[in-house]
Amino acid sequence: MTHPHPRIPGRRFLHSPGPTPIPEAVLHAMSAQPMDLGDPRVDANIVACEQGLKRLLHTSAADVFMYAANGHGVWEAVIENLAAPGEAVLVPATGHFSESWAVQTEALGRRVVRTPWREGWPMDVAAVEQGLRDDKAHAIKAVFAIHTDTASGVTNDLRAVRCAIDAAGHPAILVADVVSTLAAVPFAMDDTGVDVAVGASQKGLMCPTGLGFVAVNAAALAAAQRNPSPRFYWDWARRKHEQSYRKFCGTPPQNLLLGLEAALGLIFSEGLDAVWRRHAQLARAVQAAVEGWREGGALGFFAQDPATRSHSVTTITVAQGIDVEALRAVARDRFQVALAGGLGPLTGRAFRIGHLGDCNPAMILGAIAGVEAALVTLGVPVGDGGTRRALMSLADAAIQPSPAQVGTGALFQGGLEPGRAVDVRAVEE
């Protein structure tokens, strides 16, 4: 009998921005038999995950609640806990992901105040402040801000959102979606003044999909307590419990939690600074390749300001007439590089290269070369030297292990500067 999907020789390079490749150590940790709920290993595993996530989020004050859910599940948790039907939430527009969260919020009977979206640019922080100033009655209960909109490939400045809320003198709770930035881009929850951080397992955390979590500070817990809207499964008060299985409102997803503990161990043994630097280097290499390709005239960056281009995912726009799905199919089937398509308004107009999680220079070079080969196969003009530029960028990064790029700029403020390396090129020029 022939199998409809023949064996793939070698390994397919997965470069979607989630799900991302899973390290062998995580896969091994997950291949365990279930445990009874009284087994002390269950508690130890849950505590390790909670503490590891708090360390990763740079929070000492917040409570971590984990759900057997994907990112949309934890979006729902935040909506249900922080706003009652009829109350409002402000969602700064960042692209497809902010719009999806807004639509989900409205579907649950809450009102949404959106800020205008300028394609290719970060959120309009001035409009956030103005929207809050205009809300004299404080009907807006929370601001739902996305750190990196994974469809846009644009990273936003969360500290600026905190400042906007404070400048408006508004009591709204600041919720930050760090699903695609956690363990990829510097983030410090307490320091940034984020009240609730939202994450999921299948992106920078290198685990399978299915484990979502929130970190909730005292102000957000108090706001949830004031919220009279009925809820059960998602309810934070119910999950704040001594008994570990009650923290999950039922059986914990044990194998995912074993995987998460292993993944957190990998992150901390590499060193969080080193993880951030690696992501910056790999992103620079991908973006160097795109700079080369765009000389062919058919491709471009969606993110207009280079300083806001994500370290997790690069969104590449294509000229009219280029079939993104055909490109993905050729890249996947012939060259074994799996890419993501454009989402929402970018459907058919863009493709995305994920470069987060368990990723290294050789994987990036393979992916870039595979994408370039697929583009050439389809006759897309890509200039001459995108792959070469990625290679040179990585060679340069190897000479200069702490890129000065990391640790500068508004996105990386807050005592988190991973390196103080001298930028060799800047000195030479």
Positions in the binding site for ligand PLP (CB under 6 A): 18, 70-72, 97, 146, 150, 177, 179-180, 200, 209
* Choice between 153 and 366, CB closer to ligand PLP: 153
Indicate the helix (H) or strand (E) that contains 100. Answer: helix 96-107
Helices (H), 135-198: 158-167, 189-192
* Choice between 77 and 128, CB closer to ligand PLP: 77
> Which residue carries 């800047």 as its tokens?
426
Residue 306's nearest CA partner among 322, 290, 318, 319 is 290
Tokens of 333: 């089937």
Distance in Å, CB of 209 to ligand PLP, minimum? 6
* Choice between 69 and 367, CB closer to ligand PLP: 69
Distance in Å, CB of 119 to ligand PLP, minimum? 17
Distance in Å, CB of 135 to ligand PLP, minimum? 25
Tell me the β-bridge partners of 151. none
Alpha carbons 18 and 265: distance in angstroms, whole number: 20
* Choice between 150 and 281, CB closer to ligand PLP: 150
* Choice between 279 and 389, CB closer to ligand PLP: 279
Distance in Å, CB of 73 to ligand PLP, minimum? 7
Alpha carbons 152 and 97: distance in angstroms, whole number: 8
The answer to whether residues 318 and 299 touch, using CB atoms and an 8 Å cutoff, is yes
Alpha-carbon torsion 75, 76, 77, 79, what sign? Answer: positive
* Choice between 101 and 335, CB closer to ligand PLP: 101
Ranges of beta strands (E only) in 127-166 are: 140-146, 148-149, 154-155
Distance in Å, CB of 374 to ligand PLP, minimum? 24
Bridge pairing between strands 148-149 and 140-146: unpaired
Distance in Å, CB of 202 to ligand PLP, minimum? 6
How far is residue 285 from each of residues 36, 245, 363, 394, measured CA to CA in Å?
Answer: 47, 44, 11, 6
